[in-house]
Structure 1
Amino acid sequence: MSSITLRRKDKYARYMWLIDTIRRHDRCTLQEIDRRWQQEETLNPDGVPLSRRTFQQHKEAINAMDFGVEIICTSNRYYSVRLDEHNPLGAWMWQTLSLRLMLAESRELNERIITDEIPSADRWLHPILSALRENRRLRITYRPFGKEAFSLLLSPYFVQMSDRRWYVFGLREDETSLTVYALDRILACEPTEKTFVFPETFSAGEYLRQHGIGQYEAIPETKVVVRAYGLMADRLRTLPLHPSQQETKTDAGWAEFTFTLRPTSRFFGELLACGAYVKVLSPRWVQQRMKETADKIAEYYK
Structure 2
Amino acid sequence: MEGLKYSKSQFYRDINFLKKLGFCIENDNSGNFSLNKELSDNYDLLSHYYKHLAMSYLCESATQLNKDFLKFIVFEKNSTFHNFPLFNVVFNAICSKNKIEFKHTSYYFPDKVAMYELSPYLLKEYKNRWYVVGETNKGFRTFGLDRLSDVTVLDKTVSSKFEKAIAMFDYTVGLNFSDHEPCLIKLSFHKSQEPYLKSLPIHYSQKILPIIDGRFELTLFLSYNFELKQELLKYGHFVKVISPKWIKDDFKLELEKALKLYD
TM range (shorter): 0.7 to 0.9
Q: Whole-Å Cα distance in 2 between the matches of residues 293 and 83 of structure 1?
A: 42
- Is 2:132 the partner of 1:179? no
The structural deviation recorded for 1:216 is 2.5
- The Cα offsets for residues 266-288 of structure 1, whole Å up to 9 and x where unpaired, read as 00000012222111111222112
Match of 1:141 among 99, 103, 107: 103
- Is 2:160 the partner of 1:207? no
- The Cα offsets for residues 20-54 of structure 1, whole Å up to 9 and x where unpaired, read as xxxxxxxxxxxxxxxxx5xx4xx5xxxxxx7xxx5
Change (3 A) 1:71 1:216: closer
1:135 touches 1:198 (CA, 8 Å); kept in 2?
yes
Match of 1:198 among 140, 160, 175: 160
Partner residue in 1 for 2:35: 82
Partner residue in 2 for 1:61: 13
Which residue type is aligned with residue 82 of structure 1? L
2:124 touches 2:131 (CA, 8 Å); kept in 1?
yes
Which residue type is aligned with residue 123 of structure 2? V
The structural deviation recorded for 1:248 is 4.2
Aligned pairs for 1:1-302 within 5 A: 17=1, 37=2, 40=3, 55-66=7-18, 74=28, 76=30, 78-83=31-36, 85-88=40-43, 89-106=45-62, 108-116=68-76, 117-120=79-82, 122-147=84-109, 148-172=112-136, 174-175=137-138, 177-199=139-161, 202=164, 204=166, 206-212=167-173, 213-217=175-179, 219-302=180-263
Instruction: Give the RMSD, CA atoms, in angstroms.
Output: 2.6
- The Cα offsets for residues 189-247 of structure 1, whole Å up to 9 and x where unpaired, read as 2322211011475250x211234412322x23332111111231221122111222222
Change (3 A) 1:123 1:230: farther
The structural deviation recorded for 1:91 is 3.5
Q: Whole-Å Cα distance in 2 between the matches of residues 145 and 126 of structure 1?
A: 23
Change (3 A) 1:179 1:299: same
Change (3 A) 1:75 1:260: closer
Q: Whole-Å Cα distance in 1 between the matches of residues 202 and 73 of structure 2?
A: 27
Between the two proteins, what is the percent identity of the paired residues? 18
Q: Which runs of 5+ in 1 are unaligned?
A: 1-16, 18-36, 44-49
1:69 touches 1:81 (CA, 8 Å); kept in 2?
no
**Structure possessing the higher radius of gyration over alpha carbons:** 1
Change (3 A) 1:101 1:270: same
TM-score by length of 1: 0.73
- The Cα offsets for residues 161-190 of structure 1, whole Å up to 9 and x where unpaired, read as 111121111111x33x21111122222323
Q: Whole-Å Cα distance in 1 between the matches of residues 240 and 131 of structure 2?
A: 30
The residue matched to 1:241 in structure 2 has which SS? coil
Q: Which runs of 5+ in 2 are unaligned?
A: none
- State the aligned residue count: 249
Q: Whole-Å Cα distance in 1 between the matches of residues 200 and 83 of structure 2?
A: 24
Q: Whole-Å Cα distance in 2 between the matches of residues 187 and 273 of structure 1?
A: 33
Q: Whole-Å Cα distance in 2 between the matches of residues 182 and 135 of structure 1?
A: 19
1:245 touches 1:257 (CA, 8 Å); kept in 2?
yes
Change (3 A) 1:293 1:140: same
